[in-house]
Structure 1
Amino acid sequence: MSYFTDLSSLVSRRTALKIMGVTVVGAGLGYSRFSKPQPTIYQPDRLDLPLHLDRQKTVCVVGAGLAGLACAYELTKRGFAVTLLEKSPNLGGKIASWKIQVGEDEFMMEHGFHGFFPQYYNLKSIVEELSIEENFQSLEFYSVLFRKGEYQPEVFRPSHSAFPWNIVDLAIASPNRFQWGINLINIKHLQVFQAITGFRIPQTFKKYDALSVADWVAEDFPQGLYDLYFLPFAKSSLNAPDRLSVGELLQFFHFYFFGNPEGLAFNGTRDDMGTSLVKPIANFIRNHGGKIIPEATVSKIQSQEGKINSLTYQQGNLQTDVPFWVEGNKLLEDGEYYGAGDRLYLATNETEVLSLTCTHQGCSVHKQADGGFLCPCHGAKYDAAGKVLQGPAKRDLAAFKIIEQQENKVKLVAANAIADGEEIAIAADYYIIAADVPGTKHLFDLMQGDVNINIGNKIQKLAVSDPFAVGRFWLDRDFSWEQSNFASLSGYDLTDSITLYHRIQNQFIEWSKRTGYSVVELHAYCYKEKEFPTQEDLLATFERELFEIVPELQGATILHKELVNQKNFSGYPPNSYRDRPETKTEINNLMLAGDWVKMPFPCGLMERAVSSGLLAANAILQEEGLQRRSLLSVNPEGLLNI
């Protein structure tokens, strides 16, 4: 039995409170140890208004990620004629799924593991309304594992205690509690404690938004607190500490812990996200008269007299004649590159570029010594002109022309544009842009006519975080594992989490039972491109760290591997809060939705996306004199606003 285990049996709740310096706080609040706070209702309607539309109103939603799906769902349910456009062939955005082939087996692949926390009140309400609760399962607990030996694993379990009692529970349960390093006699430590327990909108952002997390913790910060909680949780916001606003981090902590009475354990899906969540929402929209159009590329948005008059799109594959901007990539030095992640382009001459996105499963191919290209994921080969030489790819790499060039970006258009149909115009009463940050910037570039300069400037200031990557591996053996089937990792060069899919999702559980093999996923939340400039670097590092994390797998054969590598997650850098656009815009009939909009209550990740979509729907419902949907949040303010 360890020293910490022996000591923990002697630590009472009163002692733990003294350790954290919150005895007086707990007594002063008069907070019941056994009273679970209820969610807060955001702006409840005081009048009893109609729920359903009694006249014809049309809405066009652009983007079928969680934000767009949630918005379309609510408006369709209320009687609006909704058209939902999605550029990809797969609905769901960052939670989309698609089919892959592994030997003779077919699986659904997705963008990585997603956890559903119990305080995702608005997302949960949609799940309950659709009666799909059985698609989710509790993961019971989850762990944070540390590469270096100075900390023991942290384990988080369900709890129904609000602040400060959740800290007491954490202090009692944590084997590292005496290494937190917080001393409330130290003025800097006291300020940190006040900041993380006293979150308020907009006061917290006014005070802390100009500061990066890295700068905040650089001097006299409780080191253990940072190593154990701040660093792992900051990175799970998909923003690196050197590029994340302290204000946003404090909102993240408030939502996930200090203002959250639900505990930190969470649910996962029994099947892939597309099957478990996206498909039921999409089916509801279609079954209630809504139209969903995949592979729809917007080509023009016409604005006049302070409102949008029409939107034009082409339907077909992604090789349309709609131009788009892409930024230069100076990290790759063996040519003139543009873009990043799995949207990478290489100039072949002064006027033409080649897409390096493999036409098989979307990995980025890598230039070889002979001038050709090789896919690091599944071995497809192309010649220097992008022609397929060896499968599994069936189509050549896409070619584009440079039609305009600025200092660090170029405007491209498909060299051989193909669309299944003519341009189609939509004239709707309301429009919602619910794309990701790059997509939203592109849509505003397409606006013509009377374009509002203020909202356009706000959109162009939106940031994208460092890229993220997911490596999923099929291996020819199983292994023992005492930690949670999803676990956060800290201290590795690349890897931030591990997921044992063969113990979570049905499709992989069945495959593992039949074969005795395993499926393991590693996730890098926000890696630095300078350190891993190519997808070959990512895969090689993931493989090396996998065998370090799970030593039992050393010597195992990797039967198949999948890489997801994108640079499109929302960034929350210092000084971004003030100019972040809100749901309602200066364009009368245009609403915005996505996890990048400024939210009036604390939320994060999937819940932030869903809540923004429902806020956009509520804005339209209010315009039409209908009852708004009740939106829930954790307590919007910290309890120690002193």
Structure 2
Amino acid sequence: MIGHDRRIVRHTAARPVGSARRTRPHVVVVGAGIAGLAAATGLAERGIGVEVIENQEYLGGRAGGWTDALPDGTPIAVNRGFHAFFRQYYNLRQLLRRTDPRLQRMTGVEDYPLVDAEGRRDSFRGLPRTPPWNALAFAARSRTFPLRELRRLDARAAAPLAAVSIPAIYEWLDHVDAETFLQQIEFPVAARHLAFEVFSRSFFAPPAQMSAAELAAMFHIYFLGSSEGLLFDVPTSNYDTALWSPLREYLESHGARIRTGSTVTRVQAGGDRTFRIHDDAGSVTDADAVVLATDVAGLRRIVADSPDLGDAQWRSRIQALRSAPPFLVHRLWLDQPVAGHRPAFLATGGMPPLDNISVLDRYEHQARSWAEQHNGAVLELHAYALPDVRTPEFERETRMRLLARLHELYPETAVARIVGEHVQWRQDCPLFGVGDHAHRPAVRTPHDKLMLAGDGIRIDLPVALMERAATTGWAAANALLAQWGLRGHDLYTVPTTGRHAVLRRLAERTMSKAAPQEESV
């Protein structure tokens, strides 16, 4: 079963255009994050020889998980930080089903409350799934967006939110930032902070730096375009244990080789096959095709150091990619539990620098075991879209402000002793800035045997975040398989257009004067 929405769209893999090869092609996938693992799976399942090269000592990107230790020497499981596995992440979930067909290593979060600095709280518990009843029910009970506020909206300006069409929404709104767009439609300020800002910051950027088209697409994917709902699942143990180590074993059982702790430095056209891949140890690997599934910084570096790749226009598009502002993940081991009524996940709006709190011992096996043994708690605090400052003073101040917010929201934690903590500062997520979409590189490149994949790569389907990574990985595999006369893998998404014809027509009339954007490669 793909999902519960009766209007799931199936994107059938293109029919093979090439003839089957007598020799087994060999593909190098650079990057062992979600995109790279999806690409490797799509290829290995069709009998292609696959080698995955990852510069971390463990699987990369959001697939990362490793073991650390508390000050007393107790081993602890850590990862990149909390991620929500929404139920409309069809292609990611299909990847996870390779080793967990019924997704039994995931559990549902019962609620996803949002709270702001004024103490106003909204919840997604018990909402109907089907649009537009989900939005109307949410507004009917919301303290920040009561139904009476609907009359104050500029309905014509807001029409694209309710009638998103992919990729047309980028022609309509990519030239406007999300904050300005929300002001133009006269969206209530309180609701703006508590709803849209929470979602935009989950893209690791403040609304003023994010494309309004991405905001509208996100609203479509998670709310008005899908009847899967806004609740989500989380792994029942550390991400590597629950999800990615089993997938690594699955790939290796299909003949794939995964090499960690090795950094690809450049890709050269030629060699004994189509490409020659160089790494930081001085080794070379020849391959019939390459999938670059790195983060933005890694992709820019490899292409800059690989003068054989692409043409001037494509190379300039790669170099124009930007990373979102830094973010912080602060995990805490406390010697006292949090109150039993606290939700497993709480999102905040207008409470900088805190964006969300996760009570990990509510659902993660390793955290629960530690909490039970020590009568304590394991929490995780996230701060997104931070200033690009990494001085010790700024880091210390940010952590102290996060703790102050935690104590404000969960007062019982103020008297708890911190037994251990683990802090990660990262800046490796893509920025979806104003006007970026038209020039964002796509999965296909000027080389028919070189593909891109990742959450920063353009694919004109309604997908985002981890689902975009997985979808581009499958798409990269499909593009190569078709050339070798092999069947690809079907993809699934929420509807590519708004679900209601009247709203779609209104949006098209409203935005008919928008200037068309340039096509991507």
User: Given the two structures, how large is their TM-score scaled by the length of structure 2?
Assistant: 0.89
3-state DSSP of counterpart to 2:307: strand
Q: 1:529 to 1:47 in 2, by over 3 A?
A: closer
Q: 1:573 to 1:495 in 2, by over 3 A?
A: same
- 1:591 match: 451
- 1:309 match: 275
3-state DSSP of counterpart to 1:641: helix
Corresponding residue to 2:199 among 212, 218, 233: 233
3-state DSSP of counterpart to 1:157: coil
Read off the aligned partner of 1:628 and give its amino acid letter: G
Taking the aligned partners of 1:143 and 1:594, their CA distance within structure 2 comes to 29
Q: Which of 1 and 2 has higher RCO (CA within 8 Å, sep 6+)?
A: 2
- 1:137 match: 107
- 1:148 match: 118
1:291-302 equivalences in 2 (<5 Å) = 291-302=257-268
| Alignment deviations for residues 257-289 of structure 1 (CA, whole Å, 9 cap, x no partner) | 111110111111111111111111111111111
- 2:208 match: 242
- 2:508 match: none
Q: 1:46 to 1:286 in 2, by over 3 A?
A: closer
| Alignment deviations for residues 199-235 of structure 1 (CA, whole Å, 9 cap, x no partner) | 1123211121011112223456222441331111111
Give 5+ residue unaligned stretches, structure 1: 1-34, 316-422
Q: 1:495 to 1:53 in 2, by over 3 A?
A: farther
Residue 274 of structure 1 pairs with residue 234 of structure 2: no
- 2:80 match: 111
Corresponding residue to 1:456 among 308, 315, 320: 315
Q: 1:182 to 1:173 in 2, by over 3 A?
A: closer
Residue 537 of structure 1 pairs with residue 503 of structure 2: no
- 2:431 match: 571
- 2:42 match: 74
| Alignment deviations for residues 608-628 of structure 1 (CA, whole Å, 9 cap, x no partner) | 100110000010111112222
- 1:358 match: none
Taking the aligned partners of 1:255 and 1:234, their CA distance within structure 2 comes to 13
Give 5+ residue unaligned stretches, structure 2: 506-521
Read off the aligned partner of 1:134 and give its amino acid letter: Q
Figure out how many residues of one structure are paired with residues of the other and give that number: 494
- 1:162 match: 130
1:174 Cα deviation (Å)? 3.2
Taking the aligned partners of 1:180 and 1:550, their CA distance within structure 2 comes to 32
1:594-613 equivalences in 2 (<5 Å) = 594-613=454-473
3-state DSSP of counterpart to 1:182: helix
| Alignment deviations for residues 397-455 of structure 1 (CA, whole Å, 9 cap, x no partner) | xxxxxxxxxxxxxxxxxxxxxxxxxx221111110000000000011012034642121
1:540 Cα deviation (Å)? 1.8
- 2:177 match: 212
Residue 528 of structure 1 pairs with residue 361 of structure 2: no
Task: Work out which of the two has the higher radius of gyration on C-alpha atoms and give 1 or 2.
Answer: 1
Q: 1:494 to 1:242 in 2, by over 3 A?
A: same
Read off the aligned partner of 2:202 and give its amino acid letter: S
1:53 Cα deviation (Å)? 7.4
| Alignment deviations for residues 320-356 of structure 1 (CA, whole Å, 9 cap, x no partner) | xxxxxxxxxxxxxxxxxxxxxxxxxxxxxxxxxxxxx
3-state DSSP of counterpart to 2:200: helix
3-state DSSP of counterpart to 2:169: helix
Contact in 2 for aligned 1:158/1:262 (Cα 8 Å): no
Read off the aligned partner of 1:312 and give its amino acid letter: H
- 1:199 match: 164
Q: 1:641 to 1:450 in 2, by over 3 A?
A: closer
Contact in 1 for aligned 2:17/2:483 (Cα 8 Å): no
- 1:120 match: 89
1:174-573 equivalences in 2 (<5 Å) = 174-178=142-146, 181-183=149-151, 188-192=154-158, 194-219=159-184, 221-223=186-188, 224-303=190-269, 309-315=275-281, 423-449=282-308, 451-529=310-388, 534-573=394-433
Taking the aligned partners of 2:50 and 2:13, their CA distance within structure 1 comes to 25
Task: Looking at secondary structure, tell me which structure has more strand per residue.
Answer: 1
| Alignment deviations for residues 435-482 of structure 1 (CA, whole Å, 9 cap, x no partner) | 000000011012034642121111001111111111111111112142
Taking the aligned partners of 2:444 and 2:88, their CA distance within structure 1 comes to 25
Taking the aligned partners of 1:426 and 1:583, their CA distance within structure 2 comes to 22
Taking the aligned partners of 1:49 and 1:158, their CA distance within structure 2 comes to 50
Taking the aligned partners of 2:144 and 2:308, their CA distance within structure 1 comes to 60
Read off the aligned partner of 1:148 and give its amino acid letter: E
1:246 Cα deviation (Å)? 0.4
1:145 Cα deviation (Å)? 1.4
Q: Which deviates more, 544-553 or 566-575?
A: 544-553
1:527 Cα deviation (Å)? 2.0
Q: 1:275 to 1:95 in 2, by over 3 A?
A: same
1:561 Cα deviation (Å)? 1.1
- 2:492 match: 632
1:46 Cα deviation (Å)? 6.6
3-state DSSP of counterpart to 2:32: coil
Read off the aligned partner of 1:68 and give its amino acid letter: G
Contact in 1 for aligned 2:194/2:348 (Cα 8 Å): no
Taking the aligned partners of 1:530 and 1:299, their CA distance within structure 2 comes to 28
Taking the aligned partners of 1:166 and 1:54, their CA distance within structure 2 comes to 53
Task: Looking at secondary structure, tell me which structure has more helix per residue.
Answer: 2
Read off the aligned partner of 1:454 and give its amino acid letter: Q
- 2:6 match: 37
Q: 1:550 to 1:455 in 2, by over 3 A?
A: same
Read off the aligned partner of 1:453 and give its amino acid letter: A
Contact in 2 for aligned 1:308/1:590 (Cα 8 Å): no
Q: 1:284 to 1:238 in 2, by over 3 A?
A: same
Contact in 1 for aligned 2:310/2:445 (Cα 8 Å): no
- 1:92 match: 60
Cα-Cα RMSD = 2.4
1:581 Cα deviation (Å)? 0.6
Contact in 1 for aligned 2:220/2:226 (Cα 8 Å): yes
- 2:504 match: 641
Taking the aligned partners of 1:610 and 1:312, their CA distance within structure 2 comes to 26
Read off the aligned partner of 2:162 and give its amino acid letter: T
Q: Which deviates more, 41-50 or 527-536?
A: 41-50
| Alignment deviations for residues 349-379 of structure 1 (CA, whole Å, 9 cap, x no partner) | xxxxxxxxxxxxxxxxxxxxxxxxxxxxxxx
Q: 1:466 to 1:180 in 2, by over 3 A?
A: farther
Contact in 2 for aligned 1:478/1:517 (Cα 8 Å): yes
